[in-house]
Homo-oligomer: A and B are copies of this chain.
């Protein structure tokens, strides 16, 4: 049995802007409060870690390329789960966030990495979506599988699937 640590561990499954946002707010707040935090980016969530410059350009075959077109990489291109209005929704929320001094997801991802939130890519998703290490943001730790992700969660006091 794992000894619980003062740690938050999140599985970030969704690539939606409105779900990535709480993932990053919770993990940066955790670290600012003296906790450790780790986030396992998997499935649609992994697209948030793609470099903006290769967005929509990843994939080894037509199926993977099509998935990349509909899920453009990087947090900055993420869509809302509803009220997306062809991009007007995210812009509106970003404007509101700025007016009310809430950091945006793009800034939060950088902050998270600077503050020491452990950002872990999912190996199985990379294989299925045709994403290579060089497509992902520089400086990320090694991609891992589900078994390692479970180990990462076991000793965390707070565990969430977002």
Contact = CB atoms under 8 A, between A and B. Distances in A.
Nearest to A26: B146
A44 B43 CA distance: 20
Q: How many copies does the complex hold?
A: 3
Given A18-B43, A83-B67, A158 B147 contact: no
A115 interface: no
A4 interface: yes
A22 B42 contact: yes
A44 B93 CA distance: 12
A124 B83 CA distance: 20
Interface in A104-155: 124, 127-129, 145-147, 149-151, 153-154
